[in-house]
Structure 1
Amino acid sequence: MTERVDFDLTDYPITDPTVGKLKALLGATPIEVDRQALGPAGACYWIADDVAKQNGASVQHGWMIEWLPNVYIQAMHHAVVKLPNGQMVDVTAPQRAQPSDGVTAFIPDDSVPVNLQWPASIENRYVILVDDEDVEQAIQQYRVNNSAMIAFNKWAMSVPGASWSPFQGWQAPAWPSEQPSDEPLRSSFRLMHEARRRIRDRYL
């Protein structure tokens, strides 16, 4: 069984000298957005939408910037609440390492559409900071895995009566007996986490 390896990424410091590489990737530099966690990690679009509706505010999409210092920078698509006065607040709990009342490094960007009815498997973007084949392999296999998940989600959306929520996952009155092969998901998962294990042993 493949050991799952998840890194405790930390908030990206927006004054770090590597910020120029981030700007080259995304066309902008991050700002700091206050974090007030009102819902769990992994459900930012739906939490931000609910909070915005309750407070006469709007949702601002963009990229949450985190990093594994000196190894890579990760830009994950994200949603925050934009108040009527223009102030932005990140209302989603952070991942493992960050404090819930800190600040999120964030680049506003409304160019990527989000459909709240279905999973949003928007691919992370990366700036690699080291010359390391394992880092490149881990990111490449993540992309393969994410593409396989998108393909599965498209198939699931076509099943009569199927529905999805960020808290309960997929549900359907009955799933077809013939389903897409999960081999791309399983093989990319294995290769991704094997590369991550080597990265962990080398840098952490």
Structure 2
Amino acid sequence: MIYLGIPAWARECEQIENWSGLGPARAARLVQFGPMSFYYWNCDKYVAAYGGNVIYGWQIVAVPGLFAKALHHAVVEAEDGSLVDPTDPYGVHTGETTILLDNSLQPARDYPPLYSNKYLPFSEQGANACRLVRDAEEDQLEICRRLNAIAKSQGIEWSPEEYRGPDLTEEVHFLHDAYAETQQRISAAYDFCRSILDANKSS
């Protein structure tokens, strides 16, 4: 993982706010509660246990100096108006999640919605790195969408606790192989980012 959390007060956040048309960026305090990737369900359970409301938006992380990435996310608005993130963090963090609030997408809970991420290059170098990462990650996301569609068509129910994937039909075997290939591309794209960062440090 090469992503770092960007504090809501950081200079890059102003650029991200202008780019997204959302904002201002807010900080949500991270609490250890539920696993990464299950943010919608984690928030539901947190609200059931402690109160508050589930709200949605875009979590902001970045490869410093290269590009920012916005992932659809959910946090909890506590009764005092503060934000809490009950999901294990994505990338390196400082105890907070930076989020641009946006309730225009409110996903159902039957299957992961798999919304596309948003990417913002910070420089020409960043644009090249961003393109490699975005293309590989988006291809992988499309494979996940197809796997979910197969599961739905076979009547396989999904839940974060019980999901083990659809029956391994021939098409699913093919998709699993394609998924592994995209994982290799993502790793190669991350290595490319690291090579740029290392070169910039030594120059």
Q: TM-score per shorter chain, which class?
A: 0.7 to 0.9
Q: Alignment partner for residue 57 of structure 1, among 46, 49, 52?
A: 52
Deviations 1:98-145 (A, max 9, x none): 25xx22211111111312121231222111113232331121221121
1:112 matched to 2:139? The reply is: no
1:74 matched to 2:69? The reply is: yes
1:197 matched to 2:191? The reply is: yes
Q: Alignment partner for residue 10 of structure 2, among 7, 12, 16?
A: 16
- Structure 1 residue 186: Cα displacement: 3.9
Q: Which runs of 5+ in 2 are unaligned?
A: 199-203
Is 59-68 or 25-34 further displaced after alignment?
Answer: 25-34
1:179 matched to 2:171? The reply is: yes
Q: Alignment partner for residue 127 of structure 1, among 95, 120, 123?
A: 120
The equivalent of 1:152 in structure 2 is 147
1-structure distance, mates of 2:84, 2:168 = 42
| Residue pair 2:27, 2:83 contacting (<8 A) in 1 also | no
| Residue pair 1:33, 1:105 contacting (<8 A) in 2 also | yes
TM-score of the two chains, using structure 2 as the length reference: 0.83
2-structure distance, mates of 1:47, 1:95 = 14
2-structure distance, mates of 1:56, 1:135 = 39
**Which one has a larger percent helix, Structure 1 or Structure 2?**
2
The equivalent of 2:201 in structure 1 is none
Seen in structure 2, the aligned counterparts of structure 1 residues 70 and 142 have a Cα distance that, compared at 3 Å, is same
Amino acid paired to 2:108: N
Seen in structure 2, the aligned counterparts of structure 1 residues 25 and 155 have a Cα distance that, compared at 3 Å, is farther
1-structure distance, mates of 2:12, 2:169 = 50
Helix, strand or coil at the partner of 1:78: strand
Q: What percentage of aligned pairs have identical amino acids?
A: 21
Deviations 1:30-51 (A, max 9, x none): 1112222222222211111011
The equivalent of 2:43 in structure 1 is 48
Q: Which runs of 5+ in 1 are unaligned?
A: 1-5
Helix, strand or coil at the partner of 1:146: helix
Runs of 4 or more off by more than 4 Å in structure 1? none
TM-score of the two chains, using structure 1 as the length reference: 0.82
Q: How many residues align?
A: 193
Seen in structure 2, the aligned counterparts of structure 1 residues 134 and 83 have a Cα distance that, compared at 3 Å, is closer
The equivalent of 1:3 in structure 2 is none
